[in-house]
Amino acid sequence: MTSNQIVKLLPYQHPFLFVDELTAVSSEGVTGNYTFKKNAYFYKGHFKNNPITPGVILTECMAQIGLVCLGIFLLKDELLEGNPQVALTSSQVDFFIPVLPGEKVTVISEKEVFRFHKLKCNVKLLNEKGELVCRGKISGMIGNR
């Protein structure tokens, strides 16, 4: 399964798709990136005159690339018909520096455990300078509808 096929199977669409491309995918992890659009809807109110990307959106980006894309790859034989169903079961993320409008980020995810359709990953998000923006553990259930 190619990176483009994985992205096409994602159960998200604009304006809630936070994956531009996957640059590496294996059974052990995934790396991908996303550029936050300067006119994204969430910048209008977060924060007044000082827009930064909300932590919940950064967590979503990490989950979409680091958990869902990897889960689709791991279940590629079961998901041939498409329509994967995803349920986030837990996330614990520590934040260190902000992401500004227009910034490109890279998500690097490493599989910790995958059993009975439950996937748990160690995920980190880096900015364009390679600085650690946030990191944590994200878990979810992935299956076919």
Q: Beta strand pairing status for 132-144 and 29-35?
A: unpaired
Catalytic pick from 46, 118, 120, 135?
A: 46
Let me know if 46 is a catalytic residue. yes
d(CA 97, CA 134): 7
User: What is d(CA 18, CA 62) in angstroms, rounded to the nearest whole number?
Assistant: 9
Active site residues: 46
